[in-house]
């Protein structure tokens, strides 16, 4: 899912390379008839980019999943969700964007929800 999201951002001239796009993935497992079964997977992505790109990133986040082979393969069997946060560009990139991690201004939740 991360690769598809990053590719979709790159197609819109938003740099997601060189560590600017990262993710933490959390899975939830339940026991069914004595067997552990993966029920839910959440991908929490972080993108280091200028705040001015938020609208485009939000739009990409809203549509990328159905173009993702992993999501298309598994979404009927496992609840797959994703979110993103937009943060400051690393030092030395020429941007003065301030961090905006996990705020309540639309952190981009919702794929698969």
Is the pTM here over 0.85, yes or no? no
How does pLDDT run across 7-39, given as a tens digit for each residue?
Answer: 999 999 999 999 999 999 999 999 999 999 999
| Beta strand extents in 17-78 (DSSP E only) | 21-32, 35-48
How does pLDDT run across 47-78, given as a tens digit for each residue?
Answer: 999 999 999 999 999 999 999 999 999 999 99
Structural domains present in the chain: 2-87 (3.30.300.20)
Q: Which of 2, 101, 105 is nearest to 61 (CA)?
A: 2
pLDDT score for 88? 80
């Amino acid at each position: 899912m991360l690769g598809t999201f990053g590719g979709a951002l790159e197609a819109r001239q938003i740099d997601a390379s060189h560590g600017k796009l990262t993710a933490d993935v959390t899975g939830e497992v339940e026991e069914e008839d004595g067997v552990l079964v993966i029920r839910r997977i959440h991908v929490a992505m972080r993108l280091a980019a200028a705040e001015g790109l938020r609208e485009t990133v939000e739009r990409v986040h809203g549509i990328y999943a159905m173009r993702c082979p992993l999501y298309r393969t598994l979404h009927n069997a496992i609840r797959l969700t994703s979110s993103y946060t937009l943060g400051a560009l690393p030092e030395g990139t020429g941007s003065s964007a301030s961090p905006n991690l996990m705020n309540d201004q639309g952190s981009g939740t919702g794929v698969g929800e």
